[in-house]
Amino acid sequence: MASLEYVDIGVNLTDGMYKGKYHGKKAHQPDLENVLHRAKNAGVVAQMVTAGSVSEVKQVLDLVKRYENDGLYATAGIHPTRTSGVGEGMKYLDDLKKFLDQESITRNPSGKIVAIGECGLDYDRLQFSDAETQKVHFPHHLQLAKEYKLPLFLHCRAAQEDFIAIIQKEADAIAEACANDATRNDPHKRRRIGVAHCHTGTVEEMQQLFAQGLFIGLTGCSFKEEEGIRVAKEVPLEYLMLETDAPWCDLRQTHASAPLLKRFVENNPDLAALYSPASVKKEKWEAEKQVKSRNEPCAIGNIAAVVAEAKGIDVSVVVKAARENTKFLFNI
């Protein structure tokens, strides 16, 4: 059992790839249980399974309950790229509220929903939903955060300015709603309202997020370019969360992170074996092995490793800080 404890704040475990399906075509048998087993071996004690539509909230809740012993939690919201598909009127909000009434941890101590999201703005993929539509639905999620006293799990792509403008209007009110006795009188902690997941922006954009009371989540995608390594170096540990965004966002040899990860692997072969188990192509699937280029939550240690190498500090310091942040913000 690994001694470093991880909470992966962003995993997409309902994705077809964990049922062996790639682009609608079956390549191997379902293997989510193998994936969860490897995560446990790597020290992953909890995972937040993200939902991006009403029907996905239901699927995610079913899944987190089925694997109750694996420490799975859920988010509830509409992904910005799916906002054009919410249908007429505001019925989707009533649907989300039905789930939240039953399952938000703030309403029900054994509830599984720990955050509102994934929600936000995505101007990289306007073909799915135009900016105007996204800007209509994002603020509704901020209202849900207030009403249910839940932090936000946020997605922002190429939309920083509008994103900040919308958040800014409600940040104080959400902070006030989410504050508890432990944080109300702590000016540093009081304003924490959520996490901007999978940060792929600049150091300057990261600082604008902090100013709104947001943590940032880093994934393999965060370290594609050198700027991402700068982000890893500059992010204060008290604002950091770790995530894989599995099955997406795997760390690659072509990314700016590659030399840092290589150094970590050379110096920490035992941990590296847990975070990067052997992999095979999907056509040659084996229960004990990962599938090449399908990301898994066990790889979360590699994200911590890149941050640690970029900062020149021990990986355990990074992991401990991220763990405390998830405990504080999501209560897990």
In angstroms, rounded to a whole number, what is the distance separating the alpha carbons of residues 61 and 104?
11
- Least Å distance between CB 155 and Zn ion? 4
With b for 16 or more beta-carbon neighbours within 10 A and e for fewer, the 165-193 pattern comes to ebbeebbeebbebbbeeebeeeeebbbbb
118 is in an annotated binding site: yes
The identity of residue 33, as a single letter, is E
Nearer to Zn ion, 245 or 309 (CB): 245
- Least Å distance between CB 83 and Zn ion? 13
141 is in an annotated binding site: no
199 binds Zn ion (CB under 5 A): no
- Least Å distance between CB 104 and Zn ion? 21
Shortest Cβ contact with Zn ion: which residue? 155
Nearer to Zn ion, 250 or 309 (CB): 250
Nearer to Zn ion, 51 or 86 (CB): 51
Nearer to Zn ion, 75 or 276 (CB): 75
Nearer to Zn ion, 153 or 275 (CB): 153
- Least Å distance between CB 118 and Zn ion? 5
ω into 238 cis (within 30 of 0): no
In angstroms, rounded to a whole number, what is the distance separating the alpha carbons of residues 252 and 135?
33
Interface characters, 129-168, with Zn ion (x: CB under 5 A): --------------------------x-------------
162 is in an annotated binding site: no
In angstroms, rounded to a whole number, what is the distance separating the alpha carbons of residues 40 and 14?
18
Q: Which two tokens stand for residue 15?
A: 């994705």
Count of residues that interact with Zn ion, criterion CB under 5 A: 1
243 is in an annotated binding site: no
DSSP letter, residue 104: B
According to DSSP H, which parts of the chain are helical? 32-41, 54-66, 91-103, 131-148, 160-178, 187-190, 203-211, 226-234, 258-267, 269-275, 300-311, 315-330
In angstroms, rounded to a whole number, what is the distance separating the alpha carbons of residues 177 and 175?
5
Which residues, in sequence order, are CB contacts of 28 under 8 Å at separation 6+? Answer: 20, 282, 283, 285, 291
Nearer to Zn ion, 56 or 309 (CB): 56
Footprint of Zn ion (CB under 5 A): 155
**Residues making up the binding site for a divalent metal cation:** 118, 155, 197, 245
**Residues making up the binding site:** 118, 155, 197, 245
